[in-house]
Structure 1
Amino acid sequence: MIAPTPDILTYRYELHAKLANDPDGQALARARWADDCAAWVRECLWTFDPRESPAFLPFAPFPRQQEYLDWITERFDNAEQGIAEKTRDMGLTYCACAWALHRWLYFDGFKATFVSRKLELVDRIGDMDTIFEKLRFMRGKIPEYLLPRGFDPRVHDGRGKLINPENGSSITGEGGANAGRGGRSSIYFIDEAAYLDHPDKVEPAISANSDCRIYISTPNGPDRLFYSKRHSGKFSVFTFHWRDDPRKSEDWYTRKKDEMDPVDFAREVEIDYSESQEDTLIPMRWVRAAVGLDLPPGPEIVCGLDVAELGSSKNAIAVCRSPVVVSLDRWSGMNTTQTAHRAKEITEGVRASQLRFDATGIGAGVRGTLESLEEDPTFEVVPIYAGASPSPVYYDNKAAKDKFTNLRAEMWWELRRRFQRTWEHVEGGVKHDPSDMISIPNRENLIQQLTQPKFRFTEGGKIRLESKDQMRTRGISSPDEGDALAMGMTSAFSGWGSADVAFGGEVSGGGADRLTAGGDFW
């Protein structure tokens, strides 16, 4: 949508003021609008954007949006599927709603169904981010003389359902596992299709109910129904890139690139499938750039301990003065009691303020030993639970729990961002705060381990780190030094004691309402 001009507002006001008391003019206008969806949208519909002032805007589709409306019509007329890939925030959902509302108003027996991964994303009263609230807003702004005869919102507008009593047309909404259970439809719109939770269940159901299906989404990595359809070569693809939007400029692009995580930026702005398919968490070139880098060490010393599992893995401890990794040590052949005492000796020897370790599984033995010492150690004992929920930290106004599947993924992702900033600084001269980068010793085992874990995006768009068991199926042992480093370097626990970071349960401790990460994490 383009910001309204006085000409647009004046034209609309004069047009509908004239038609309000002119039945013959209304009939002519209806006939014209029935044949021209874009004209009807341009002259009759409104949108809502709380970021604008005023928030209520005439729906003035720009050229690429008009092409999208025509593209939907072509898919519908040919009874075929279509793939709409997009930069985020391009107005495609509003366009799809407008197209469906046009058919609902002017064509007998039409039925459109909107699908999303949860019904709450399709319809929730009062939430303008949902599809049906957009439909209701647009329907509520249509001139009264255009509404269907007999239409009563109390009767014909329910949750996930909009009925035209005059011509029998309807618009319905479905979500999650219930998608496809609402019977046959003239057309299906699958919104954010790459993020469906169960595409293997949704696709057969909706395939049986309609030949025309429009899949709309930003990329979300490989192994997705949307990805396979997009690259199959079997379906018409409509690409809606940010450069097609007259509201977005090079300054906007540069600002987003600076603000966003590179993988999110690649997916949501550049529609870059190659980047979103990248499954190596930390590329080797990033790690090499950090070896021996001259950075000022921070004032606080923290130790991260990875406790050895059964088999060939070893215990590892990383001594960190963020952003500098001071040293690493590994050992085997010790039980958890011996490991706890050795870790205590190292931590006290370097005068560290904290010893962080994964207390899950075998690590519980280390916790038990440290908590039963006759004399309190000189450092904080910080047991963490890497497989539990992410930290309470917010990154760019988004909770960690909405970005990561667990705490281990969050810690490793922060490592990734440190190495990426370091590489950008070393190779490209990009200025980053030294505290947001990293310097590591020239230790080949560590270098190799840091590049071994892979990651992927879940159906809901969260970041999932490859588990140690999954790595073993590829013949790769546990990245003990890497895990120790991730625990020692993460900023998620800064200023938090052991009671505060027991993320396996409720967050405790004062000031736990909201922590905000520093730097340009996202």
Structure 2
Amino acid sequence: MAVDLDLFAVRCLKIRAKSGRVIDFEFNRAQQFIHERLEEQLAKTGRVRALILKGRQQGCSTYVGARYYHRTAMANGIRTFILTHEDAATQNLFEMVNRYHELCPVEHRPVTGAANAKELFFSALDSGYKVGTAGTKGVGRSSTIQLFHGSEVAFWPHAETHAAGVLQAVPDQPGTEVILESTANGIGNLFHQKWSDAERGEGDFIAIFVPWYWQEEYRKAADHGFTLTTEEQEYATLYGLDAEQMAWRRNKITELKDPVLFKQEYPATAAEAFQMSGHDSFIKPADVMEARKNVREPSGPLVIGADPSRFGDDGFAIARRRGRKVINTERRYKLTTMEGVGWLKQVLDTEKPARMFIDVGGLGIGIYDRLVEMGYGDVVRAVNFGAAPVEPPKFDEQGREIGGGPANRRAEIWMASRDWLQQAGGADIPDTDVLQGDACGPSYRYDSNSRVLLEKKEDMRRRGVKSPDEWDAVALTFSEPVPVESTTRVSGLEDYAVDY
């Protein structure tokens, strides 16, 4: 008897290919990646709790269906439940499971008891499937479930109700699995919130992302003379795509009539998937993605930004930067004032930064004052996000303020970090979707004097976006120039460098 899922799939399971033919089930690249991540979590924790973000028709539901059929058909007492966003999807997924069962070799096929449009029961094993549609608020609440598959969760009409109901039907026991998969559907919904939590390491769920260009079939023959636009060339270079993949992308964008919709339906990164048309981020995703792929050597003084927070959903984040490289970011939660002081003191003592810039709004002022009392006043600097910009306003010949520029210190240091990303020397930041999500999270507007105002954190929360703690910490490293004497000499004179 085949035991491993990948072997069982090839030997026992049949799928309907996009061509319409029924073929043996061999994992594609996306399915193999998902399988490896889930098995890794299962081996580590004894359970599976996973969120899968993917593009259209990449075989995720096919894989989860096979995984759960394998488990349900090979063990006693397994109850599996599938919940989708609409009736048609429910029917499609259940038909897929029925195909697995009907075409499975008889020696591996369990004896069937009840079998109808919403249930498949294996009587000898006391195991089986049920399916439901998220349009019914109470669906699945009264069951005890070992394996749960939530499909297109971002489109569930009663997502919060189901999270408090059917998800709670899965006991916190070894061997249980909850897999929630979806394409993106904007931000602020249950799936986006749980994804954001998982990316930050909060809770039990892991975040698994599958880019569109892993699909071998997402290619189109490039016509003779096919050339890329500047934007397309940058995109192709960024993700290592060939002409056939770019021809397919161009054709799909033409079909969808919206480049932003393409990013949502066929994302290259998780941050890109959750972009919304109409959300004009202050820092552009393309600039952040380029910095994620760059490799630069750290140089100059170590500068640290610290964005404290206490309790709530916001994190206490720090960022370390040397010259053109953000070395890393780190985030902790629910620190008291003294715990925050202890953390930053340890960093100051062991890493000896040239400067540590601390946001002194809220919890930060107590941390800053205590560090100064402890003798670190020559290194730590207070930064008040709501204060006036350090750079003075500009006036015309009649003494009238010209306008433009940042409206406050937060906008000023974010502008400095944005400009740094765009400089010709190239920036290097950690290659994480969390950091990109923070960098591209805030929108912006202009005040009556045409000065830039970043979106307030409370306004971001109202539209379902968490506080951009990690990029706040990165931006703090640009609070002011940090001079450092170089060890090199030019024409016998000391070369004086400034990191900014």
**TM-score scaled by length of structure 1:** 0.43
**Higher radius of gyration, 1 or 2:** 1
TM-score by length of 2: 0.45
